[in-house]
Structure 1
Amino acid sequence: MRRLLLAGLVALAVLPAAAAAASGAAPLDLETIMANPDWMGHAVENPYWSVDGRSLYYSLKRDGSTVHDLYRVDPVSGQGTRLDAAAMAQAEGPAIYDHTRQHAAYILHGDVFLVDVASGRRVQVTRSPQPESAPQFSADGRALQFRQANNWYSYDLASGVTSPAAVLKFADDPQDKKPDALERQQLDLFKELRENKADKDAEHANEEALAAADSTRAPQPFYLGDKSQLVDTELSPNGRWMLVITQPAHRDDGKAPGVIHYVTDSGYTETQDARTYVGRNDPAPQSLVLLDLVAHKQYDLSTDNLPGIKDDPLKAIREKTVATLEKAGKSDEAKALKAPDVRPVTLYSMDAETASVAWNDDGSDIALELLSIDNKDRWIATIDFDKHALVSQHRLHDDAWINWTYNDVGWLKDNRTLWFLSEQTGYSQLYVKPLSGAVKALTAGKFEVSQPLLSNDGKWFYVRTNQVAPYSYDVYRVPSNGGALTRVTQYGGMDQFVLSPNDSQLGVLHSSAYVLPQLAVQGVQGGTPRDLTNTMKPAFTAHAWIAPKIVEVPSSHGAGVIYAKYYGPANETDALSSRPAVIFVHGAGYLQDVSESATYYQHEQLFNNLLVQQGYVVLDMDYRASQGYGRDWRTAIYRQMGHPELEDLLDGKAWLVKNHGVDAKRVGIYGGSYGGFMTEMALLRAPGEFAAGAAQRPPADWVTYNHSYTGDILNDPQLDPEAYKTSSPIEYADNLRDPLLINHGLIDDNVLASDSVRLYERFVELHKKNFWISLYPLERHEFEHPDSWYDEYRRIDELFETWVKPGTQH
């Protein structure tokens, strides 16, 4: 993944007895709230339409289990049903259609199904222990293509025969082997050996001729050599081409740190390998091979001619580091930092398995998104199939790093026009580009466009945007040939949407502060939505939780406005003239927590309620680096993580003091993951500003985090050691003056517990006071066990009660 994983689910907190009584609900104690979060309700997940468009499916977590059940709901009546095992056998998966809309296909329980749309007749195409995926119809509609891992198959609709699209062998072609001197001598000496070789050559030539002339035979293998290994394959809808993505074989992925499990089923201590540290091995460079499946030929696709591929965006940093190393007599290390003549690339990955590759509907062209390994350039390229060469269609350069999101790409229905998202103006916007024409913006403005979806008739794009305000998201639509961007939904807290097969309705997931995502249906031109689900539990909704107020905190550092959620008492006029406060810091870095949607941090939000009822006020800020505010907000932390964010948090503290009667000496801070990192940076880089801090699973030294997140923001540690020293809490350990509580899961394989242990040892050696560490033997990065949530937040609550609330001097 390209982003630091979010802090896990943590302990809840509650309204005290008086407030609970006022709301008509029984008071809740801490242990009740720390019980399994099923008591709150469940989020509706993964909605999709049935093949005929008459039903919507969605999944819902089962109470007391990790199992998710499948539901089907009638969008007209709103009547829904949980599908039992028997009904599941007749269920559908998310469907794709051929260009005539006569046939549909989907994956269900890992197998491929084909449906005649008019009659509803269903044919099971596969029944295998290995899961299939990615069904697509051939351009002529006569075949259904699908993949099993990286092997593609084609199912002929008329004959019912399934055949492999290609056979790949990562070995050298034995027919290409040239005899050495000894073998040539043997052939010269012995007639029998010459005749045997002639027979083998004739048999091979005959097999090739028969395969070329007879489509009923399995295809001949492609030999791709033993120096590369397979990463991904993509089959063209016309069946003519296959793109193969490879990386060097037998590559050393670098030494992996170990995660030690102390509490195990076996009773013995066990060790698990985690991810490699940043800079210990950069991502493997990838190569592209184009296979002509008809002519049975293969062509290497060079990236050497991509614009800017031979530039060195890190030249200034490289020269400074090399000079420092050479001055220190470390010439070997300096030589290792030499810039490559041509920068290596990978295909931008939309997820952990599939590269960002999009064929047009007729298979006549392909769009590839390539990313430089130094994270400074993204190219969208097509292929000249006559010249077997890449053609650059768009280059996006960023002096900091290419974003992890907003990189969608695809084709209009004319098969000759690309569409894509780009941050080239500083905000993610939607663009189109004819292959031989100029780029045209379909949207423009200081807001973010995401989730682009082209209608089935090709006339409209539906997108998610925050055009009204950075914290307010809804579905909008824009004509695919250009025109006005118009609002479709009116939620403010819209999370996801799916378009019906006939382009007439949207299934919409929407949420709010204390309502997890729910499903509704609405017409594509707007109108009144119809709610289809209500999965929240009465015991939860009965409580009068505090509605967070979205506020604007002015920046004293030229950043403009910092959006935040403020939690305070209902009657501010009764507030004390000097009160304690807590700042909550969200995780992930690049995450938006200030919005009208449900927060990822439902449990922390309820803990904020408890803090207010105990006399605190709470501020939750979208500091610089957060998502939703454009490219400059995101990249402000480049080479200086923890610095702009701290400026914003201190501005938040000042705002609380000025506007809400907060005592500047009585402000606490807490957060998890990146929020834990910022808690440590706040105490260590601004000693005395915060009365106490609680850091959950915090990265204390970015040198020990992974490449895909850290390398983007701080470059490689060997190349840019200054950025790591500037950005790591452990480098500021000597500044600890204020109480710090660290909570960490011992089997966290994302942010390793060794980060916190190493920082703790630094405090020990520096003779620091008032620091504590609490380790949880059965917790990973995201806490799962209610007992751990209870213990973690009991400690945080006690920390604030001891050091923040009474204004203890220390």
Structure 2
Amino acid sequence: MRKIGLFGLLLLFAVYASAQTKPLSQLTVEEIMQAPEKFIGTSPSRVSWSKDSKNIFFYWDPDGNGEVSAYQISKDGGTPEKIDDTSEGWPSNYEFNQDKTKIVYTEGGDIYIKELKSEKVSRLTATNDRETNPSFHKENVISFVVEDNLFTINTETGLITQLTNFIVNYGREDESPSRRGVGNGNSGNRIQDSWLREDQLNTSEIIKERRNRPRRSFRGFGSFGSFGDNDNRDAVELPNIRSLQLSPDGRFVSFSVYNSPENGAQNTIVPNYVTNSGYTTDINARSKVGGEQGYSEIGIYSVSGDSVYYLDKMQLPGITDLPDYTKDYPDKEWIKEPRKVSATTTLWSGDGKYAVVQFSADDNKDRWIMRLIPETGDLITIDRQRDEAWIGGPGVSGFGGTFGFLPDNKTIYFQSEKTGYSHLYTHDISTGTTKQLTSGNYEVYQPKLSSDGKKWYFTANMKHPGIKHFYSLPLNGGKPTQITTLDGGNEVTLSPDEKSIAIEYSYIDQPTELYVMDNKPGAKAKKLTESLKEGFKAYDWHQPEIITFKAEDGADVHARLYKPENPNGAGVIFVHGAGYLQNVHYWWSTYFREFMFNNMLMAKGYTVLDIDYRASSGYGRDWRTGIYRHMGGKDLSDQIDGAKFLMNEHGVEAGRIGMYGGSYGGFITLFAMFKHPDVISAGAALRSVTDWAHYNHGYTSNILNTPVEDPIAYKRSSPIYFAEGLEGDLLIAHGMVDTNVHFQDVVRLAQRLIELGKDNWEMALYPVENHGFTEPSSWTDEYKRIFKLFENTIGKK
């Protein structure tokens, strides 16, 4: 027998290994658009720790059966174990006492206390009511909420005290139509209706599969009751009440109430044609931008005085300020009147000495942080952030942003884009001193105080806009210390004892897996899960090059470049959705289908560019607001500059550039086709906004104000007004039950194109799809059409 040396064995192994890797040229749309759990795998998600910091809990579907289940694994490693998420030790929402020796939590609607050292559990309530939001008011007093009223229970005596007697008026919301709404699929003829239901199974496999899909069950709670006598307090009738909090000194209860608009914005209707019943039914969907909006305000209830007052917004500095855009309408009379504002939460210091409230203007051009004097209702300014575009950025926008007290009970912390990037600040209320703790051209995400109150933990893209690491920082500022070691995306969950971190880590071509490491700089990260399927592992996926190119205004634009070995002279630009989203990064993309499709295009000879255009996240305030009052301005010119970059630097031929994208990416594709037909020759616009006056209020009013107040912004930002510019080949694809960007958007555009006599466009409709497609057959059909469009147009020399 002939002997094979070590070199020969290595050579054979290399040949064998290479034989197991398929060339990217073999990729097909059908393969990459199948259910991701079948081809790629399902990554771990919703990661948390056991209370004793020994085990990590997460949700996972390693078998690819489409059912995500709960798992646990020791922080020391081993085999993940499938468990019931009601198992002992499964984390729930809980609150620590001051010295972190006990926790209070709810289970089954009742309140429990657990002593962490002895693991002794004591049940405090056993009622038919659902007790919620328990927290330690004092060491032996727990506050909690029942039916929108605040109670306390003394853990030593068992005495339950009702502090408020609010009667909440919810209006007639219980009578509002359901999501399925107006059409109920009922003709009055039961035999006819039954026949139609069964006939649906003969015409749609999707409907058959959905009808047979098992329903998830949820554990419910007992019926609501009452505690009986309530200290004879007078009932106070309120609208929808939220965020009940007892001040640490027990003298005041703060709460938020939501005031519905008197003339609520009219909801829209989305018809659903392919249904279980066989009848067309109507889905009640969102309202359109510009409709009257509700608002929240803060109330203060005096426990001793049995009285209520609401915070006076007239104390907010600049409450009557007009936005700068009003200067563009000199013929309109603008009245300086108090703007509508919302406030939802009162922040109390641990000793009860200070109270702080955060307000947001309805036009989102101001955010105020105000000190509250609860005895009088006086408000004192701590910080006013004004942005003539709109308030936003990590930890800034909305009421879920960074906001809290330091352990000294006199210093608050918050985030602000004051310097152009979202950074961490503190303010000492006793001295009126504000201090910036982090600085630089990077964003800070999810800052959190350590348990001992001596340091900060946060995530930041300090190393590169597309790399996120986990850092620590001394309490009063200083040099941040990088803890995680693997470049890419690091989503960290800190263990309760803060000795370990669980990491959901991913890289450009590596989907997210669960890792664990010691909470020490430079410690080694240990991989705990393996989620990839053989189909995905069979290919040697190309990592696009992360590059920058110059925009027309001199800005550096980040992009992913897919450069083929044998270019065919054609180029494709992919446009990510959402506007404020980042896709040029070193972690696994939420656009994983497009990542694979771009790999396929590259293998076919196309040079592909994926751009973080103006409005993308991760690049600071000026980049975020670069589209203010003109969507289809710098966000579009960045794409056109990218096309020129492909022609000037990478040999792409003029007249052979295509574009595709969904949602915001579809909107940009339409605009590129209508305004730059000399540059973009073929485009696939998927689930596209065509007229921003028909999109929702929360997103659109920030960027374009409202159609009545700022019609200039809407007219220059909506593709439907520029449709006469279409010259190239256009594919429009849209789900017919899209409750986000309504099917009406493309129907109106289609009518416009018909009236203009355009005949170089086509529309693909997806009757069972919402904004985000769910059926592999729909994804496959859509992307086969995109590929066919490019092959038949720019792909031909």
**1:171-193 deviation line (CA, Å, top 9, x unaligned):** 7xxxxxxxxxxxxxxxxxxxxxx
**1:78-111 deviation line (CA, Å, top 9, x unaligned):** 44322137x6255332543111222123456776
Assess, with a 3 A threshold, how the Cα gap between structure 1 residues 357 and 473 changes in structure 2: closer, same or farther. Answer: farther
Match of 1:702 among 692, 710, 715: 692
Assess, with a 3 A threshold, how the Cα gap between structure 1 residues 34 and 428 changes in structure 2: closer, same or farther. Answer: same
**Aligned position for 1:508:** 503
Say if 2:766 and 2:778, in contact at 8 Å, map to a contact too: yes
Say if 1:666 and 1:690, in contact at 8 Å, map to a contact too: yes
Match of 1:529 among 515, 525, 530: 525
**Aligned position for 2:193:** none
Letter in 2 for 1:689: V
**Cα shift at 1:43:** 2.4
**Aligned position for 2:205:** none
Say if 1:243 and 1:291, in contact at 8 Å, map to a contact too: yes
**Cα shift at 1:548:** 1.6
**Aligned position for 2:335:** 339
Structure 1 stretch 426-435 or stretch 234-243: which is displaced more? 234-243
**Aligned position for 1:305:** 315
Structure 1, unaligned stretches of length 5 or more? 1-18, 172-214, 325-333, 348-354
Instruction: Report the secondary structure of 1:403's partner residue.
Output: coil
Answering whether residue 467 of structure 2 is matched by residue 478 of structure 1, we say: no
**Aligned position for 1:96:** 95
Instruction: Report the secondary structure of 1:592's partner residue.
Output: coil
**Aligned position for 1:244:** 255
Instruction: Report the secondary structure of 1:760's partner residue.
Output: helix
**1:679-705 deviation line (CA, Å, top 9, x unaligned):** 111111112211200011100000001
Cα RMSD between the aligned structures? 2.7
Letter in 1 for 2:60: L
Answering whether residue 785 of structure 2 is matched by residue 790 of structure 1, we say: no
**Cα shift at 1:377:** 0.5
**Cα shift at 1:121:** 2.6
Match of 1:265 among 271, 276, 284: 276
**Aligned position for 1:33:** 32
**Aligned position for 1:433:** 427
**Cα shift at 1:439:** 0.8
Answering whether residue 646 of structure 2 is matched by residue 646 of structure 1, we say: no
Structure 1 stretch 621-630 or stretch 20-29: which is displaced more? 20-29
Say if 1:169 and 1:221, in contact at 8 Å, map to a contact too: no
Say if 1:48 and 1:94, in contact at 8 Å, map to a contact too: no
Match of 2:681 among 675, 691, 699: 691
**Aligned position for 2:266:** 255
**Cα shift at 1:507:** 2.1
Letter in 1 for 2:531: T
Report matched runs for 1:491-502 at 5 Å: 491-502=486-497
Say if 1:367 and 1:410, in contact at 8 Å, map to a contact too: no
Match of 1:167 among 148, 165, 183: 165
> In 1, distance between residues paired with 2:53 and 2:235?
45
Answering whether residue 306 of structure 2 is matched by residue 296 of structure 1, we say: yes
Say if 2:42 and 2:64, in contact at 8 Å, map to a contact too: no
**Aligned position for 1:469:** 464
Assess, with a 3 A threshold, how the Cα gap between structure 1 residues 63 and 533 changes in structure 2: closer, same or farther. Answer: closer
Report matched runs for 1:139-288 at 5 Å: 140-147=138-145, 150-160=148-158, 164-170=162-168, 218-221=230-233, 223-225=235-237, 228-230=239-241, 232-236=243-247, 239-248=250-259, 251-281=262-292, 283-288=293-298
Assess, with a 3 A threshold, how the Cα gap between structure 1 residues 89 and 259 changes in structure 2: closer, same or farther. Answer: farther
Higher-RCO chain (CA-CA 8 Å, sequence separation at least 6): 1
Say if 2:50 and 2:89, in contact at 8 Å, map to a contact too: no
Say if 2:366 and 2:386, in contact at 8 Å, map to a contact too: yes
> In 1, distance between residues paired with 2:559 and 2:357?
38
Say if 2:489 and 2:588, in contact at 8 Å, map to a contact too: no
> In 2, distance between residues paired with 1:705 and 1:723?
14
**Aligned position for 2:358:** 369
**Cα shift at 1:129:** 8.8
> In 2, distance between residues paired with 1:216 and 1:785?
52
Instruction: Report the secondary structure of 1:88's partner residue.
Output: coil
> In 2, distance between residues paired with 1:340 and 1:510?
51
**Aligned position for 2:444:** 449
> In 2, distance between residues paired with 1:221 and 1:480?
44
> In 1, distance between residues paired with 2:679 and 2:126?
63
**1:239-268 deviation line (CA, Å, top 9, x unaligned):** 443222224457222211110000111111
> In 2, distance between residues paired with 1:394 and 1:417?
13
> In 2, distance between residues paired with 1:59 and 1:130?
30
Q: What TM-score do the two structures reach when normalised by structure 2? A: 0.84
Assess, with a 3 A threshold, how the Cα gap between structure 1 residues 471 and 413 changes in structure 2: closer, same or farther. Answer: same
Assess, with a 3 A threshold, how the Cα gap between structure 1 residues 448 and 405 changes in structure 2: closer, same or farther. Answer: closer
- Number of equivalenced pairs: 715
> In 2, distance between residues paired with 1:771 and 1:129?
62
> In 1, distance between residues paired with 2:346 and 2:389?
25
> In 2, distance between residues paired with 1:299 and 1:490?
52
> In 1, distance between residues paired with 2:61 and 2:356?
37
Assess, with a 3 A threshold, how the Cα gap between structure 1 residues 216 and 311 changes in structure 2: closer, same or farther. Answer: same
**1:453-482 deviation line (CA, Å, top 9, x unaligned):** 110110111111111111111011111122
Letter in 2 for 1:554: K
**Cα shift at 1:622:** 0.3
**Aligned position for 1:183:** none
Letter in 2 for 1:394: D
Assess, with a 3 A threshold, how the Cα gap between structure 1 residues 793 and 113 changes in structure 2: closer, same or farther. Answer: farther
Answering whether residue 626 of structure 2 is matched by residue 636 of structure 1, we say: yes
> In 1, distance between residues paired with 2:573 and 2:147?
46
Say if 1:673 and 1:696, in contact at 8 Å, map to a contact too: yes
Assess, with a 3 A threshold, how the Cα gap between structure 1 residues 223 and 79 changes in structure 2: closer, same or farther. Answer: same
> In 2, distance between residues paired with 1:404 and 1:427?
8
Letter in 1 for 2:724: D
Instruction: Report the secondary structure of 1:657's partner residue.
Output: helix
Match of 2:376 among 357, 380, 387: 387
> In 2, distance between residues paired with 1:243 and 1:498?
31
Assess, with a 3 A threshold, how the Cα gap between structure 1 residues 752 and 454 changes in structure 2: closer, same or farther. Answer: same
> In 1, distance between residues paired with 2:68 and 2:46?
11
Q: What TM-score do the two structures reach when normalised by structure 1? A: 0.83
**Aligned position for 2:10:** none
Say if 2:736 and 2:766, in contact at 8 Å, map to a contact too: yes
Answering whether residue 409 of structure 2 is matched by residue 409 of structure 1, we say: no
**Cα shift at 1:651:** 1.4
> In 2, distance between residues paired with 1:222 and 1:510?
55
**Cα shift at 1:411:** 1.1
Letter in 2 for 1:144: I
Assess, with a 3 A threshold, how the Cα gap between structure 1 residues 217 and 746 changes in structure 2: closer, same or farther. Answer: same
> In 1, distance between residues paired with 2:700 and 2:589?
25
Assess, with a 3 A threshold, how the Cα gap between structure 1 residues 561 and 318 changes in structure 2: closer, same or farther. Answer: closer
Letter in 2 for 1:104: I
**Cα shift at 1:123:** 4.2
Structure 2, unaligned stretches of length 5 or more? 1-16, 170-226, 397-401
> In 2, distance between residues paired with 1:594 and 1:503?
32
**Cα shift at 1:112:** 5.0
**Aligned position for 1:83:** 83
**Cα shift at 1:66:** 6.1
> In 2, distance between residues paired with 1:342 and 1:144?
39
Say if 1:475 and 1:494, in contact at 8 Å, map to a contact too: no
Letter in 2 for 1:737: E
> In 2, distance between residues paired with 1:662 and 1:249?
55
> In 2, distance between residues paired with 1:313 and 1:110?
47
Identity of aligned residues (%): 35
**Aligned position for 2:545:** 549
Assess, with a 3 A threshold, how the Cα gap between structure 1 residues 63 and 294 changes in structure 2: closer, same or farther. Answer: farther
Letter in 2 for 1:509: E
**Aligned position for 2:13:** none
**Aligned position for 1:8:** none
Say if 1:78 and 1:531, in contact at 8 Å, map to a contact too: no
**Cα shift at 1:300:** 2.0
